[in-house]
Amino acid sequence: MDKKEFLKAISNNLKGFDKSEITEILAYYEEIIADKMENGLTEEDAIASLGNIDDITNEIKVNLVLKRSDKKISNSLKSFIIILGICSSPILLPLGFAFAVLFLSIFIVLFTLIFVFGFTGICVILAVFIHSFSTLSTGGDIASIFIQLGLGLMSSAFLIGLTIELYKAMKLLLNKINRLFLKTIKKKTKKGEEVNA
């Protein structure tokens, strides 16, 4: 494989990540290859010495997603898909399976709750207005209509507030799970960091 093919393969593997980040990574490897060649290696050997492309890009992905979740700008679902992709390598398969089950079950449970509460909240608002109008048109008592409206809006505000809090909690929890698994992957795949003695 020559340098061009190597860099192309890396940028292909990292599609979807921040462009400036990819540019910087490519410049880094290009410089390392040039320095290795300057020190006597052939282009082919210099590239071979860098190791397997999937390993290289998986390590980069783990670090990028971790960094993103540090800054709280992470999209948990997007990170989830990237982590699953990293886990497709044989040694990480069991971990990936555990991760997918945990992530999806929490997501489904919380999403269902959020959906139910949110939906109920909106239905209560609609019901209250429709009921008030029908009472009004049939010549109901204004005071009791206002009490109905007030109580209805209060309970729907409570439900919608609950939905929003649950949504925040879900984001936080899924982000935590992502980080936990990223760190586990990092530990499992860590190499080239042994002390020489």
Partner 1 sequence: MKIQLKKGLLDICILASLIEEDSYGYKLIQDTKEIVEMSESTLYPILRRLEDNKFLISYTKEHNGRLRKYYKITDKGKQNIYEFLNEWKDMKRIYDFIMERVKNG
Considering only 15, 19, 20, 38, the residue that binds partner 1 (CB under 8 A) is 38
CA atoms within 13 A on the CB side of 123: 6
Considering only 20, 40, 143, 197, the residue that binds partner 1 (CB under 8 A) is 197
Which positions from 171 to 190 touch partner 1 by CB under 8 A, shown as an x/- string?
-------------------x
Q: Does residue 35 bind partner 1 (CB under 8 A)?
A: yes
Distance CA 179, CA 76 (A): 10
Q: How far apart are the first and last CA of the chain?
A: 34
Contact yes or no for 103/174 (Cβ under 8 A): yes
Distance CA 4, CA 47 (A): 10
Give least dist CB 190 to partner 1, A.
7
Give Cβ neighbours of residue 92 (< 8 Å, ≥ 6 apart).
86, 185, 188, 189
Number of residues that bind partner 1 (CB under 8 A): 26
Distance CA 72, CA 78 (A): 13
Selected range binding partner 1 among 47-55, 84-92, 146-154, 157-165, rule: CB under 8 A: 47-55
Q: Does residue 20 bind partner 1 (CB under 8 A)?
A: no
Give least dist CB 120 to partner 1, A.
45
Inter-CA distances, 161 with 106, 148, 153, Å: 20, 20, 12
Q: Does residue 191 bind partner 1 (CB under 8 A)?
A: yes
Q: Does residue 41 bind partner 1 (CB under 8 A)?
A: no
Q: Does residue 25 bind partner 1 (CB under 8 A)?
A: yes
**Which tokens go with 120?**
């109920």
Q: Which residues bind partner 1 (CB under 8 A)?
A: 25, 27-29, 31-32, 34-36, 38-39, 50-51, 55-56, 59-60, 63, 190-197
